[in-house]
Amino acid sequence: QVQLVESGGGLVQPGGSLSLSCAASGFTLDYYAIGWFRQAPGTEREGVSCISSSDGSTYYADSVKGRFTISRDNAKNTVYLQMNSLKPEDTAVYYCATNRYGSSLLRGIYDYWGQGTQVTVSS
């Protein structure tokens, strides 16, 4: 069974850090680009970051550039999102997803999605 499972969300104060994980089972992530998306209540799901399968190139939304870092460990079949200097506006459910095309934040090209993990940034 193909599955993506996110973990690592939680409640953190502004300025704090969280590290999210996206573990795959039932298939290998080696040949997929991976994206992280987020969705706050009443808003559309937006792309946060992605990493390619080929050369590990990365891309970040302007809103998180310099604060978030995406990485992958193919041996562990896992992708990570390190989030630093968190702001209240980062509060959302965070999802990981896979695509076969490359490093892009276009939602339509992503096929497998995880169930999401809640991140809340509040004092």
pLDDT at 120: 98
pLDDT at 107: 93
Q: What is the pLDDT along the chain (123 residues), one digit of tens a residue?
A: 889 999 999 999 999 999 999 999 988 888 899 999 999 999 999 999 999 988 889 999 999 999 999 999 999 999 999 999 999 999 999 999 999 988 899 999 999 999 999 999 999
What DSSP assignment string belongs to 47-87?
A: EEEEE-SSS--EEE-TTTTTTEEEEEEGGGTEEEEEE-S--
pLDDT at 121: 98
DSSP code at position 98: E
pLDDT at 56: 86
In whole angstroms, what is the distance from residue 77 CA to residue 7 CA?
14
